Amino acid sequence: MRNLAVIPARSGSKGLKNKNIRLLDGKPLMAYTIEAARETGIFERVMVSTDSPEYAEIARNWGAEVPFLRSKEASGDGAASWDVVKEVLDGYEEIGQYFDVVCLLQPTSPLRTWKDIEAAYHIFRERSAIAVISVCEAEHTPLWYNMLREDNSLDGFIRQEHNVRRQEAKPYYRINGAIYFALVEELRTDGNLYRKGSFAYIMEQERSIDIDTELDFLYAELIHRRLRGGILSRYQMVHKNAYPHIGRCA
């Protein structure tokens, strides 16, 4: 199989200006994802899709390729990530390069490691999947969420059968935005990857930070320094003799 990693990094971020090249512990944010993708050794190409010549130069300096810039149509706020991926695939096909598998890696997930990508790919191959998408356990059970009435009354806010202790609540999972593997053929013919043949790769919460705001950035920097310092997380201490790199399916 020929595998392509696509790292989308447009320059027009509204929530956090220039977040994709902002320095996190002295390194541009996108560099963490470029390095993680390259370290897996499973991709024929690690490509950054950007609309900015400045971003393109930074991406190349960190080992990614940028054979063409993103179109204006795919650079706006309304452009979906998979539209960007399809444009990239079209661009490569125009120069005679074709891929069987594409992996979308958001640069806003800098704590995702090469082992996470490799583990997700292991599931992808082992399960003959059409897609593998990373998730993490939700911080809070959605059973405790509801809309408020106009008068802010809490009458019926939580149904009685959902009023359980946190320790007794069953775990829920959320898409964390870090890793998306997909068969190119399936992506071309059916944009819905959340169907039969698609599986989850479960990541730890601490590596699942998706940077969108200043608070997210500060939190990611704090966790990065903690992990870099070699302090084992609770999950790592429990599983330090097992590998997190094989991952799990849900």
Strand order in the sheet with 3-8: 45-49, 3-8, 101-104, 173-183, 131-137, 198-203
Q: Which of 159, 166, 228, 234 is catalytic?
A: 159
The tokens of 72 are what? 């204006």
Q: What is the CA radius of gyration of the chain?
A: 19
225 included as an active-site residue: no
Residue in this structure with the two tokens 């390729």, named with its chain if needed: 65
Determine the residue type at 241.
N
Phi, psi of 97 (to 5 degrees): -115, 125
Residue in this structure with the two tokens 């989308």, named with its chain if needed: 8
Q: Which run of H or E residues covers position 182?
A: strand 173-183
Nearest Cα neighbor of 19 from 81, 106, 78 is 106
CA 86/CA 102 separation, integer angstroms: 10
* DSSP 8-state assignment for residue 219: H
Counted residue by residue, the chain has a size of: 250
The tokens of 190 are what? 């059916």
Catalytic residues: 159
